[in-house]
Structure 1
Amino acid sequence: MYNIAVKQEEYLTYILKDLDSDSRLEIVPERGGIVTDWTIQGQKIFYLDKERFKNPQLSVRGGIPILFPICGNLPDNLYSYQEKSYVLKQHGFARDLPWIVTNQSTNNSASITLSLSSDSETIKVYPFQFELNFTYKLIGKQLIIEQSYYNKSQKIMPFSVGFHPYFFCGDKTQLQLDIPAQEYNSKLGDKTYSFNGELDYNVEEIDIAFTQLQGQKAGFFDRKRNLKVEISYSDLFSTLVFWTLKDKNFICIEPWSAPRNALNTGEQLNYLQPDEIYTAQVSIEIQ
């Protein structure tokens, strides 16, 4: 049995529930369309820094922020299009803007559809008309994010997109990573290292990118919690970024459609023709 409720705290929050599996998901449309919380039978799946979340001047650190129309940062936050320079901050603007709820359903899942469209402010930093529609479906211990990207411009629209899930993890030494790659790049992309499934969690920060993926599934097993997380993603997503901080109880495994600075380099960048719609999917399953 599925259920959708709302609550008003700092922001209006939608609560999706699968009552049969005791699975509960929270989404805040006006704070970047973000998933903020997921619990299954009392187990916390996502990390959330609640103090940062309350401050609209700070980026959210937790849940699943949406990255669009870029992933990562640009040098000096700049890119050029048709000989004109634009300023676009790290991870783009979708995670900071209010999304609109366009549909809700409790048939076969607890689902909610959110929409984000271009406006006069987005066009100043990204000169394209677009419409994004994301449907979040909760089915038992699985979250499915169905996406559509619509280029409403009369010109070709370059873009990249990503998700930045913060998985709660109290003891990283108990993690067994499952990443479909044998090497990763440093944050700046200037060094490449072999990967055997192990990382050194004693360093202050790990920020690395796996760009030569050999499969469309990734995840980890938390031995301490006896919890397995599997992330599946469409072939739109060419890169996985792993990020964590030493003294914080989270790890991020982030599906990106292109590496950082793709809007300048063109590496793995996607392009939509005028009036074209592209669809993709990311799912997270807990065992």
Structure 2
Amino acid sequence: MNKLYIQTNQSRLEILPQRGGIITSWRLQGQEIFYLDEERFANPQLSIRGGIPILFPICGNLADNTYTHNDKQYTLKQHGFARDLPWEVTHQETANQQKVSITVTLSSNEQTRAVYPFEFKVAFTYQIQGNTLEIGQQYTNLSTEPMPFSAGFHPYFLTTDKTQLKFEIPSQEYHDKITEKTHLFNGDFDFNRDEIDVTFKQLNGKSATVTDNARKLKLTLEYDDTYSTLVFWTVKGKDFYCLEPWSAPRNALNTGEHLSVLEPQATHTASVRLTANFF
């Protein structure tokens, strides 16, 4: 499996284009930011739990994993297909040691058209500069009809003690997927639960921060207007938590909620930034 690396004098990014264009590692000042489940990673049949999996053309799951387009029913599995397909490296910028980047691209093909009948090209540019990782995105509709989609990221952040995490999320409430109840959010989660899977929809800001007092690390996630939703997910006994920017909530391809619709030949650009500060 060909891992690619780009690095500056203080930061190194590891990318696997062949397995979903995924970032698998970001080391800053010698410390790893992301979690990676090595056992799952070793099995190419399993989705990767770690790094930053890409969500496209849906985030989350559809009701019964199906949707209808032009009176035809299609099956699309959770989070879409982008994280499972090989991406192509289309550009690299490594001349300036202060700021380096790599661009990976996914284009529609026979496999994608079977479950998502649109022609598209998606290009992501991963750039590291200082203590910031930026993911610039271009979504292009090459079809002759409007293309509905949602997109997002599923970063797995490494942590050693979840009780030492402090959250600042720009929302007063979340919806719990497991209990199907909505709760007020006061900045805390109950990490004694086997699994936490909650969605923040009513966002009133464009950034969220997590301070990990055990690791002495403050992470700031910034996102543009494309992103309407943040999802928090973790599993008891695992050294990760996920804070995921989504452009639309789950099942949006059926409900239309915050769904992006691109006109033919149009391109939508978006950006997500992650800044890490050790203290």
TM-score normalised per structure 1: 0.94
**C-alpha deviation, 1:69, in angstroms:** 0.2
Query: What is the CA deviation profile of residues 52-93 of structure 1, one whole-angstrom value per residue up to 9, with x for unaligned ones?
Result: 112111010000000000000112211111111000000000
Pick one of 149, 154, 177 that aligns with 1:159: 149
**C-alpha deviation, 1:190, in angstroms:** 3.8
Please give the alpha-carbon distance, in whole angstroms, between the structure 2 residues aligned to 1:180 and 1:97: 33
Correspondence for 2:79: 91
Correspondence for 1:6: none
Please give the alpha-carbon distance, in whole angstroms, between the structure 2 residues aligned to 1:174 and 1:189: 25
Q: How many residues align?
A: 275
Please give the alpha-carbon distance, in whole angstroms, between the structure 2 residues aligned to 1:134 and 1:84: 30
Please give the alpha-carbon distance, in whole angstroms, between the structure 1 residues aligned to 2:223 and 2:116: 26
Please give the alpha-carbon distance, in whole angstroms, between the structure 1 residues aligned to 2:103 and 2:27: 20
User: Is residue 236 of structure 1 aligned with residue 219 of structure 2?
Assistant: no
Please give the alpha-carbon distance, in whole angstroms, between the structure 2 residues aligned to 1:81 and 1:188: 29
**C-alpha deviation, 1:189, in angstroms:** 8.6
Pick one of 26, 30, 35 that aligns with 2:18: 30
Correspondence for 1:116: 106
Please give the alpha-carbon distance, in whole angstroms, between the structure 2 residues aligned to 1:133 and 1:283: 16
Residue 59 of structure 2 aligns to which amino acid in structure 1?
C
Correspondence for 1:68: 56
Query: What is the CA deviation profile of residues 120-172 of structure 1, one whole-angstrom value per residue up to 9, with x for unaligned ones?
Result: 11011000000001000011211000000000000000000010000001100
Residue 37 of structure 1 aligns to which amino acid in structure 2?
S
User: Is residue 150 of structure 1 aligned with residue 111 of structure 2?
Assistant: no
**C-alpha deviation, 1:187, in angstroms:** 1.4
Specify whether residues 188 and 128 from structure 1 end up closer, same or farther in structure 2 by C-alpha distance, changes over 3 A only: farther
Correspondence for 1:253: 243
Please give the alpha-carbon distance, in whole angstroms, between the structure 1 residues aligned to 2:113 and 2:14: 30
Query: What is the CA deviation profile of residues 173-196 of structure 1, one whole-angstrom value per residue up to 9, with x for unaligned ones?
Result: 000001100000121694211001
Please give the alpha-carbon distance, in whole angstroms, between the structure 1 residues aligned to 2:108 and 2:230: 27
Residue 221 of structure 1 aligns to which amino acid in structure 2?
T
The answer (yes or no) to whether the contact 1:221–1:228 under 8 Å persists in 2 is yes
Of 123-132 and 35-44, deviating more is 35-44
User: Is residue 46 of structure 1 aligned with residue 34 of structure 2?
Assistant: yes
User: Is residue 196 of structure 1 aligned with residue 183 of structure 2?
Assistant: no
Please give the alpha-carbon distance, in whole angstroms, between the structure 2 residues aligned to 1:161 and 1:171: 30
Residue 72 of structure 1 aligns to which amino acid in structure 2?
G
Taking only the aligned residue pairs, the percentage that are identical comes to 58
The answer (yes or no) to whether the contact 1:160–1:270 under 8 Å persists in 2 is yes
Correspondence for 1:8: none
Correspondence for 1:5: none
Pick one of 268, 273, 277 that aligns with 2:263: 273
**C-alpha deviation, 1:40, in angstroms:** 1.2
The answer (yes or no) to whether the contact 1:70–1:260 under 8 Å persists in 2 is yes
The answer (yes or no) to whether the contact 2:160–2:215 under 8 Å persists in 1 is no
User: Is residue 172 of structure 1 aligned with residue 162 of structure 2?
Assistant: yes
Correspondence for 1:131: 121
Pick one of 67, 85, 88 that aligns with 1:79: 67
Please give the alpha-carbon distance, in whole angstroms, between the structure 2 residues aligned to 1:117 and 1:55: 25
Please give the alpha-carbon distance, in whole angstroms, between the structure 2 residues aligned to 1:135 and 1:42: 23
Correspondence for 2:175: 185
Please give the alpha-carbon distance, in whole angstroms, between the structure 1 residues aligned to 2:54 and 2:108: 15
Please give the alpha-carbon distance, in whole angstroms, between the structure 2 residues aligned to 1:245 and 1:149: 32
The answer (yes or no) to whether the contact 1:149–1:277 under 8 Å persists in 2 is yes
Residue 104 of structure 1 aligns to which amino acid in structure 2?
Q
Please give the alpha-carbon distance, in whole angstroms, between the structure 1 residues aligned to 2:178 and 2:55: 18
Pick one of 65, 83, 88 that aligns with 1:100: 88
Q: Secondary structure at the match of 1:260?
A: coil
TM-score normalised per structure 2: 0.97
Correspondence for 2:201: 211
Q: Secondary structure at the match of 2:60?
A: coil
Q: Secondary structure at the match of 1:115?
A: strand
The answer (yes or no) to whether the contact 2:142–2:264 under 8 Å persists in 1 is yes
